[in-house]
Amino acid sequence: MIYKKIITYGTFDMFHIGHLNLIKKIKEIGSEVIIGVSTDEFNEEKGKKCIIPYEQRAEIVRCISGVDLVIAESDWDQKVSDIRKYSVDCFVMGSDWDGKFDYLQDLCEVVYLPRTDGISTTEIKELLKGFSPTFKKDFNNMFNILDTLRQDLM
Ligand code: CTP
């Protein structure tokens, strides 16, 4: 272990392998892991609409082995107070945030870890948009076929 207390923040909506990989990498370098999960209200402030509500997103992250504490992230400025409050010695974010949190370097180590390629919640949401009309059509077709069969049998 390199760090004693390590913290990261994220939305973790529609929890996927990219989220898990990041948490696994964090666990490799820190002995106590704190995760800030952003609230639904904070996400709306950021212009993000979550599919899964905060309580469920937080519960999923809380149940991952090696995660010691989940806290709610409700505004941009709380990172400084959290780092002080929990005596954090390392702050981690995925590389999509590269450089954005360097101002925290006065308080602790700031590390950007590589993202997992090819997956993001935004992409999953886009894919679902594409799927849903076909799904509805297929479902209706299947329902019509079953209904015809039912009428034939009567
Ligand atoms: N993350 C990652 N690899 C991915 C997706 C996310 O390492 N493929 C990391 C992000 O860099 C972030 C953390 O997981 O540090 C939480 O991600 P989140 O805030 O939920 O964002 P995304 O899953 O990228 O979702 P979105 O598309 O909504 O930004």
Task: Specify the number of domains making up the chain.
Answer: 2
Residue 43 Cβ < 6 Å to ligand 1: no
Active site residue 48: yes
Say if ligand 1 is within 6 A of residue 120 CB: yes
pLDDT tens digits, 72-108: 999 999 999 999 999 999 999 999 999 999 999 999 9
Q: Is the CB of 94 under 6 A from ligand 1?
A: yes
Predicted confidence pLDDT, tens digits, the chain (154 residues): 799 999 999 999 999 999 999 999 999 999 999 999 999 999 999 999 999 999 999 999 999 999 999 999 999 999 999 999 999 999 999 999 999 999 999 999 999 999 999 999 999 988 888 776 676 677 677 778 877 887 777 7
**pTM (2 decimals)?**
0.86
Specify the pLDDT at position 149.
80
105 in the same domain as 33: yes
Residues 94 and 143 in one domain: no
- Separation of alpha carbons 40 and 91, rounded Å: 22
Whether residues 107 and 131 share a domain: the answer is no
- Residue 99: give the domain boundaries: 3-119
Q: Are strands 69-73 and 3-10 parallel, antiparallel or unpaired?
A: unpaired
Instruction: Out of 46, 85, 100, 125, pick the active-site residue.
Output: 46
Q: Is the CB of 25 under 6 A from ligand 1?
A: no
Which of 6, 7, 11 is the pocket-test mutation for ligand 1 (most atoms within 8 Å of CB)? Answer: 11
> In this structure, are 30 and 77 located in the same domain?
yes
66 with 79, same domain: the answer is yes
For 92: left if phi > 0, alpha if psi spans -120 to 50, otherwise beta; the answer is: beta
Based on the fold, state whether residues 106 and 125 are members of the same structural domain. Answer: no
Q: If you search the block for the tokens 């964090």, which residue do you land on?
A: 26
Same structural domain, 108 and 136: no
Q: What integer pLDDT is reported at residue 135 of this predicted model?
A: 66
Judgement on whether residues 62 and 128 belong to the same structural domain of the protein: no
d(CA 33, CA 27): 7
12 CA → ligand 1 middle, Å: 7
* Model pLDDT, residue 131: 74
Shared-domain flag, residues 67 and 106: yes
Using the Cα atoms of residue 46, residue 118, residue 64 and residue 88 in order, give the sign of their dihedral.
negative
